[in-house]
Amino acid sequence: MKTSTLTRRSVMAAAAALALAAPAWAQQPYPSKPIRIIVPYAAGGSTDQLARAIQQPMSEALGQPVIVENKAGAGGTIGTDYVAKSAPDGYTLVFGNTGPNAVVQLMRKVPYDGVKDLRPISTVAFTPMILAVPTDSPANNLKEFLAYAKKQGSALNFGSVGNGSLSHLTGEYFNELAGIRMQHVPYNGGAPMMTAFVGGQIQSSFVTGLDGATLLASGKVRYLAVGTPKRTDAVPGLPAIAEDVPGFRSVAWFGVLAPRGVPDEVAARLHAAVVAAVERPEVRKMFADRKIEAKSSTPAELEKIIQDEIAQWGPVVRKYKIEM
């Protein structure tokens, strides 16, 4: 009887010990399955191209497949919201940018908080907004364009890829700081805007290196200046707009973010993988060919970029009553 009681107690003790230890040995190290990067725009666009450029390098760094999945709609907020509400386990990420992560929430209500609900991992690339004009424009440089714009007033227009887009905000910001009044002409996306530009319906526009590549290749558009605070090797040979319009700055960023509650050790693994991907020579060449600077950051640096953008673009949105 005594032996039987001891046996039962031993079995129960062993079972309890196993139960306590189960989480430790049952939990697999991260990552143990494929990781999804949600691109909140349609396949083939500029954001999608950049996400796919780091897909394979990240997969190699993490030892698991990295899958790019498109969830487009509502200015990038549908895909961003999907990630914000996903499990914070590091298996669902978003390839973010200025729009859904900073400025869209300034123009309308969105179902997530771009600062509180997402944890920045790292930037991937930066591209200045570039002032472009048709090759038959009477302005051959920024000084001439400013003089021409002041003379033309609202008879001069600037095109954008849509209301509330960074190209729209940049044009109004340029109006404000330069003391001019160009008329905004919105289009439904980059392709229609490019078609109108090449067709001579637009007299100027602020474009990214990716979107502007098609325009530049057409031979009907030329660049005048860049939106970085100083001249940049990403678009060599062009002056900074700030040289003639003090304080002007407009730069688009692209980067990776996770749901806010992702564990520190998981965020660290993801950060290392993004940094490794951005340093790959083939990735850097692909970006450079498109007038984009490949550049990683710390999570804190990306968080500050987002907060600074909210502070920069908020007054522009309110003054010009910009809505999406």
- What is the DSSP code string of 146-215? HHHHHHHGGGSEEEESSTTSHHHHHHHHHHHHHT--PEEEE-SSHHHHHHHHHTT--S-EEE-HHHHHHH
Q: What is the pLDDT of residue 26?
A: 39
Cα 58 from Cα 66, distance rounded (Å): 7
This prediction's pTM:
0.86
Cα 69 from Cα 150, distance rounded (Å): 45
Cα 209 from Cα 72, distance rounded (Å): 22
Q: Which stretches within the chain are classed as H helix?
A: 2-26, 46-62, 77-84, 98, 104-107, 142-152, 166-178, 190-198, 209-217, 264-278, 281-289, 299-319
Q: What is the pLDDT of residue 13?
A: 47
Q: What is the pLDDT of residue 92?
A: 98
Q: What is the pLDDT of residue 46?
A: 80
Cα 301 from Cα 307, distance rounded (Å): 10
What are the tokens at 268?
């660290």
Question: Helix, strand or coil for residue 238?
Answer: coil
Q: What is the pLDDT of residue 114?
A: 92
**Roughly what angle, to the nearest 10 degrees, separates helices 166-178 and 299-319?**
60
Identify the segments of the chain with pLDDT beneath 50.
1-7, 10-26
Q: What is the pLDDT of residue 240?
A: 98
Q: What is the pLDDT of residue 27?
A: 62
Q: What is the pLDDT of residue 283?
A: 97
